Amino acid sequence: MGFINYEVKGAYAVLTINRPEALNALNSAVLDELNATLDAIDLDSVRALIVTGAGEKSFVAGADIGEMSNLTKAEGEAFGKKGNDVFRKLETLPIPVIAAVNGFALGGGCEISMSCDIRICSDNAVFGQPEVGLGITPGFGGTQRLARLVSPGMAKQLIYTARNIKADEAYRIGLVNAVYPQEELLPAAEKMAAGIAMNAPIAVRACKKAINDGLQVNMDEAIVIEEKLFGSCFETHDQKEGMGAFLEKRKEKNFTNN
């Protein structure tokens, strides 16, 4: 892969968008490689994924404006669908995904971070949806995920004004879970991923599905989703192992994702 570095580190993996000369901007080639990388993840062995950007200046500066500038209406819609399809694949990946946001996360960069389950960032991170200043709307899910993550009013303010916000404000409005000094960001993400990977994979994946699917329906339907996923954990090796370890008062657990 020319624009994506993918490294497995034990039970978790790190996916790095590697186009630093363009501040890791997303063009069609990057999106294609990202899509192929997500398809190739070994979900039998990888229990959590970290997504980050190469270099110290930028996570992902956005979609490639040079590529977008001459698109027709139909081509623009197709490019939006291309990005949305990849980001949706990331969002619905069975395993938890942590965005480690270093530097600029603008436009498509903010949007890809919002497709992850958890966002943490460095103290030099900058988030924003600058699209209306370019004469377009956010096109990779920004109008939808930002309103769901923070609030409709805050999302509208950020999108309508095209104003960038720094790490402390992103934390204040709930867009990110934590802010770290730049050199501590990736170690913090890896520590979190390793911690997730120690838990029962079947249960973690069921929790992700329960939360994501439950948010799309009313509470009565959501509770049924939870009940079914809760029930699905029983009679698995991991449930027997987890409860057995608790009852036997032993710290060592052998979770096998079965």
Please state, for a pLDDT cut of 70, what percent of the chain lies above it.
Answer: 100
- The confidence band for 64, taking pLDDT boundaries of 50, 70 and 90, is confident
Mean pLDDT of 117-138: 97
Closest CA to 100 of 55, 43, 147: 55
User: Model confidence over 216-240: pLDDT tens digits?
Assistant: 999 999 999 999 999 999 999 999 9
- The residue annotated as part of the active site, out of 33, 111, 184, 226, is 111
C-alpha–C-alpha distance, residues 194 and 175, integer Å = 23
Cβ atoms < 10 Å from Cβ of 176 = 23
| pLDDT value of position 63 | 87
Question: Phi/psi zone of residue 182: left (φ > 0), alpha (ψ -120 to 50 degrees), beta?
Answer: alpha
DSSP state of 50: E
* pTM of the entire predicted model: 0.96
User: Model confidence over 10-28: pLDDT tens digits?
Assistant: 999 999 999 999 999 999 9
Q: Looking at per-residue confidence, does 56 or 125 come out higher?
A: 125
| pLDDT value of position 20 | 93
| pLDDT value of position 76 | 95
User: Model confidence over 137-183: pLDDT tens digits?
Assistant: 999 999 999 999 999 999 999 999 999 999 999 999 999 999 999 99
Mean pLDDT across the chain, nearest whole number? 96
| pLDDT value of position 40 | 97
Domains of the chain: 4-197 (3.90.226.10), 201-247 (1.10.12.10)
Residue with the two structure tokens 């657990």: 253
- The residue annotated as part of the active site, out of 56, 131, 184, 190, is 131
119 has pLDDT over 90? yes
C-alpha–C-alpha distance, residues 148 and 21, integer Å = 32
DSSP three-state, residue 39: helix
User: Model confidence over 24-48: pLDDT tens digits?
Assistant: 999 999 999 999 999 999 999 999 9
| pLDDT value of position 1 | 65
Question: Is position 190 annotated as part of the catalytic site?
Answer: no
- Residues 6+ away with beta carbon under 8 Å from 24: 17, 18, 30, 53, 54, 55, 58, 59, 60, 61, 109
Question: Is position 111 annotated as part of the catalytic site?
Answer: yes
